[in-house]
Structure 1
Amino acid sequence: MPVLRSSPPSPFGRKAKIAAAVLGLKDRIAVEMTDTTDPSDTIRAQNPLGKIPALVLDDGRVLFDSRVVVEYLDHLAGGGKIIPAGAARFDVLRLAALADGIMDAAILQVYEVRFRPEDKRHPDWLAYQGEKVTRALAALEAETPATVAAGTLPDAGQIGLACALGYLDLRFDGTWRAGHPGLVAWLEAFEAAVPAFTDTRFTG
């Protein structure tokens, strides 16, 4: 059985777990807790970058990062389920890339505070990353993605966006919600339509 190396707070790991759930693969993937800050954790041997998620296949090969893992899961489920073929594929991948960018910028802000002493932090760097998130949210509010209807599969871009907004709720106290009513409504609809979003919420 393939093993997904992940950690509950990781929005990228959450993306892979939601993808597995909506594709009907949850019972075919084992999830293994990972501590990327622990030098003795085997993640550094499995993924030279030491990052999660990483999917350890039955033959020992390891797939990373989340974009590759999600595409593999889609392939495992028969293909074209959450990453469509043809021209529509690029709309989905574009949204997925924007969501990944939000998560990257948000995580960099968290790490700047978590790993640097206060006198070594760079306010300009924090502001630079924060502006990425601000611009991305403004663009998404102006052109909100299609709502996920109950009984339909979300695509990879929608899954990524939900995880990005969930991470902003977790680490930034949901301050993004002010001024983005369209995205708030979109996320509420996603949560109602995709039970895996609630099932993968970090509560620690």
Structure 2
Amino acid sequence: MKLFYSPTSPFVRKVMVVAHELGIADKIELQRVLVSPHLPNPELAAFNPLMKLPTLLADNGEVLFGSQLICEFLDHAHGARLFPQSPSIRWRVGRLHALADGMLEAGIACREDLHRYGRMEADTWTDGRKMKIFQGLDYLESVTDELASQVNIATIAVAVAISWLRFREFINDLVPTTPKLAIWHQEFVSRSSMLQTKPAEDSLGWKSR
């Protein structure tokens, strides 16, 4: 399999954490791609008309894009452990997964606004987006016991989202406002799958070319 990636993309990291948890990370070849919201990328467009990361080229030639679909594909093909089969549990997990992705999307939009408009003009937009992030953190604090129950796609997505928000300095210290979430996150990021995918520009410890 080949995964088109960027070293600091949280959505790529989510896919790779899933791959490590499933024990298949060594089966994924990484192809680094430079993407921009404003510039064409013929190489990536040949596989994904949206030119977004992550994009996966499966061994059978099937192309999948979007981190949620790719994660579900990998899980289905290698043990079905991270997406619960029970409908009642699956929807709860899916809700937290969607929340984590939404928080990431809000954070990424903040950064795009800042680059596009400059700090002063972007403030009106970023205030609303940051509100979504902090409301999301408050919600996660209220369901921390649910997060602590097991490793699944929701816990992976939440851990990756919080780590990226810290990496991009949207949040610094979780303890004062979300103490239970802070403890849970500190424990989760000590997992091997998180340590092996920690973003450090080019030094990700992944097989890439």
Provide the TM-score with structure 1 as the length reference.
0.89
Match of 2:73 in 1: 72
Q: For CA contacts below 8 A with separation 6 or more, give which structure has more relative contact order.
A: 2
Partner Cα separation in structure 2 for residue 29 and residue 119 of structure 1? 39
- Tell me whether 1:142 sits opposite 2:133 in the alignment: no
Shift of 1:176: 5.3
2:108 alignment partner, SS class: helix
Partner Cα separation in structure 1 for residue 53 and residue 149 of structure 2? 26
Instruction: Tell me, yes or no, if the aligned pair for 2:4 and 2:53 is still in contact at 8 Å.
Output: yes
- How many residues of Structure 1 are paired with residues of Structure 2 in the alignment? 196
Match of 1:182 in 2: 180
Give 5+ residue unaligned stretches, structure 2.
Answer: 202-209
2:147 alignment partner, SS class: coil
1:48 alignment partner, SS class: coil
- Tell me whether 1:157 sits opposite 2:154 in the alignment: yes
Provide the TM-score with structure 2 as the length reference.
0.87
Letter in 1 for 2:196: D
For residues 12-27 of structure 1, the aligned pairs below 5 Å read 12-27=11-26
Partner Cα separation in structure 2 for residue 40 and residue 139 of structure 1? 38
Q: 2:163 aligns with which of 159, 162, 166?
A: 166
1:49 alignment partner, SS class: coil
Partner Cα separation in structure 2 for residue 74 and residue 3 of structure 1? 16
2:4 alignment partner, SS class: strand
Match of 2:130 in 1: 130
1:122 alignment partner, SS class: helix
Instruction: Tell me, yes or no, if the aligned pair for 2:35 and 2:41 is still in contact at 8 Å.
Output: no
Match of 2:107 in 1: 106
Letter in 2 for 1:155: N
Partner Cα separation in structure 2 for residue 62 and residue 120 of structure 1? 41
Q: What RMSD, in angstroms, separates the aligned Cα atoms of the two structures? A: 1.8
- Tell me whether 1:55 sits opposite 2:56 in the alignment: yes
